[in-house]
Amino acid sequence: MAETLKRLKMDIAAKGIPFFSEIDQSKLASDAGVKLRPSTLLVFGNPPLGTLFLTSEPAAGLDWPVRLLVHEDEKGDVWAVYTDFGWIARRHGIKDRNDAFATASGLIASITSSVKAR
């Protein structure tokens, strides 16, 4: 898990994408007395790209910046989970940013290429 998070953050930085936050959900759970397998939420984004979606539909700010959930299952496999950008476009009725959504989809696929994705 630690190595996966390190690789993902290095790849995000290498692409020049601003990194905003890392939230250790398993630590939050532990602090609340709840047992949770390793789970970390990474928050990052490319403002010149991501804010385009907000200019089309301000409510799209619910889905930006990008959130990438990295978690470990009971077998020790590490997974990366994110919301499909096509779904985000449909959710917010954004029809004028197809090229931007394609770029965002390519970037997240590249970033998660070394991790099992769901």
Is the pLDDT score of 117 beyond 60? no
Q: In the chain, which ranges are continuous DSSP H helix?
A: 2-14, 25-31, 47-56, 85-92, 98-111
Nearest to 67 by CA among 100, 111, 2, 35: 111
Per-residue pLDDT tens over the stretch 36-67 = 999 999 999 999 998 999 999 999 999 999 99
Range of the domain at 18: 2-117
> Taking the model in full, what pTM does it have?
0.91
We report the CATH number of the domain holding residue 23 as 3.30.310.70
**Largest CA-CA distance found in the chain, in angstroms, rounded:** 46
Q: How many domains does the chain have?
A: 1
